[in-house]
Amino acid sequence: DGGITQSPKYLFRKEGQNVTLSCEQNLNHDAMYWYRQDPGQGLRLIYYSQIVNDFQKGDIAEGYSVSREKKESFPLTVTSAQKNPTAFYLCASSIQGQGRGEQYFGPGTRLTVT
């Protein structure tokens, strides 16, 4: 089965702790994305990567960090500098440079920081 996996589905952390969210895809897609979604809101782009070992900040990158050491993996670290980390986090991937950029999304990780 091809697709995107995110783990864990639910994550609880204490304030002041860094936490890393996992995202893996076996679709052989070049591009990967991280979004944040708050209740009743649309998706806001945190970071995106169009190729291995390269990534760019999205609209709300402050307090987050990413790495792209492998094509299939794009982990997101929520650092203690993120003021309001509690949210629903979505990872996506797409073919880059061809086609019309249809994005495939993972099931999401719901992070709660108290």
Partner 1 sequence: LAKTTQPISMDSYEGQEVNITCSHNNIATNDYITWYQQFPSQGPRFIIQGYKTKVTNEVASLFIPADRKSSTLSLPRVSLSDTAVYYCLVVASGGSYIPTFGRGTSLIVHP
Point out which residues bind partner 1 (CB under 8 A). 4, 31, 35, 40-45, 48, 50, 58, 88, 90, 92, 96-108, 110
Nearer to partner 1, 98 or 114 (CB): 98
CA distances from 54 to 11, 34, 44, 67, 110 (A): 27, 14, 20, 8, 26
Q: How far is the CB of 29 from partner 1 (least distance, A)?
A: 13
Provide the minimum distance between the beta carbon of 65 and partner 1 in the complex, in angstroms, as a whole number.
Answer: 19
Q: Which residues pair with 94 in a beta bridge?
A: 31
Which of 73/96 has CB closer to partner 1?
Answer: 96
The residue among 15 and 102 lying less far from partner 1, judged by its C-beta, is 102
State in angstroms the smallest separation of the CB of 90 from partner 1: 5
| Residue with token string 């209740």 | 39
Alpha carbon separation from 7 to 32, 35, 88 (Å, rounded): 16, 15, 12
